[in-house]
Structure 1
């Protein structure tokens, strides 16, 4: 005859699994496996926030339950966490997986689910040496802690949509998988819609930790700025990481028949620290200095602004000399739609966020498999 304790545990598991499905049901499509070799109980392909449109983001869950007789609400509040013993092989599998896996603990005493990303748990408990083969010797299980504050609620589910996974089986660029097959050095955008161009450049700057940003009236920089002229944003701030970009005119495109000779990757320029940024999202006619520009340059020099970065929604070479005449040695080389494409294509998260809005004039693919 069936063991009553086993039957009771199955009923408990069925009960909290049903509650979990009801909690997440409207947030996407549930994914399950016929066999438990996958080492997870269930997954979900999440909707985009506020819609029924699927985001493409999948998140996986391993569920455990703790009876009220084992852990009271008072004890949970006093401890601040829940401990659980897990198989070490399972934890390694979840930690190394390409998609996020959450350890979910159902607390019968409170009727709540606690959920934490396995990577957050492991990094907090053991750090980067966790996957080392000799880290745990012959140990088969480990005890993990899930925070008592990590309640699985709507806010937690909203945050899960930000998880990302990407294809890394294509050719790499300098040892880095980029999630696409495009050659970052030899592609060029077609002119982008001004609002898309502005958002794209600001995302690139944010990825390079552009902080303490102040806006400058663009009419102090260029003449003929306005609804029927140039459209630009002018910003002054601090880059906390190095922003590096190529000079498109120095990159070699041709190659020999057997691809045995290296091609020049061009001259690189960089900026860090205090910079002034010109985001020229619509170029309308000649590039001419505003009457106040010389005074503004003196102000920037006194403030320690070291570089002027120019992002132009136009060809790299078209306005090269006019920009240099305006800003002199403060601007190494202005960026156009070819060199900006390089920065977008090597900033994978920026590329993924904007890929549906990008338009291409020239596309080259990387060699290799």
Structure 2
């Protein structure tokens, strides 16, 4: 007779490295999970959002003692030093290239990591879904925060015969959401000049290699770092826009001739953080779910699986490891301690050596 149970204990001190694109959501979400599991937390906020970081630091210091929640501000070298601290768990959200460096730094202390990275999240438009429906939902996911979202659709696979019609539907959908770009408070600017130059380089590189680049707001004067949405047709793998995570309002369209071909295109590439399929046929939906790997999936929508806090959020392969949100966050930031409890009577003596005792001979005779 014995009892077995799992005891969940706090890990200790959890480090959280926060990116710049959603500096509140991606700080408060992990903080909530780690505190709920009973941990102390250190947050390293992004150097690219200093005003938001300072405001959040002041707010949290009014609520929590600094030995329970501590906010760290500083430039890149501060973040590098932060990743080398001997945390009991470290969560990083950001680019895959930086995630590798964070994991390497954590390895010196054998610190377990949760890495929420990026990748090229595909959207698949089926052969029979209404194009206006698919285009509107993809446009919302792509243009929210000007595409600066880790689960934003990165490219769209479209049946070859529907390519032009989808392009038209997407342009209409974007213009409904944002009738203008300049002086529009609904449309987000690119975070800084360096990121704007990177996106412009992707456009220039694609154009130079033969892509058709469509500015969805031709003739409109650009304002500051507000980069208008663009469509790219005729893309190929030699273009950087098809190699790097875009993280901006640029959307390549890739034609396909069968669903199997579209799935093969996805599976030949690194596993993405999100995958989106637009089509109402249940068998086709199941085929997509069974024959692809991704961190998460939306059927007939984009982004909103992340908002369902009871669903685990996390990547796979180059798009990350581990997951959190809701109960899964509690588990990630807890140690599941296995406990076996016995009292006075010890039935295990029956299997102690020396072997060949009467009871053991009886068991052998009955069961062997």
Range into which the TM-score falls when normalised by the shorter chain:
under 0.3
Q: Which has the higher relative contact order, 1 or 2, with Cα contacts under 8 A spaced 6 or more apart?
A: 2
Please identify which structure carries the higher strand content. 1
Normalising to structure 1: TM-score of the pair?
0.26
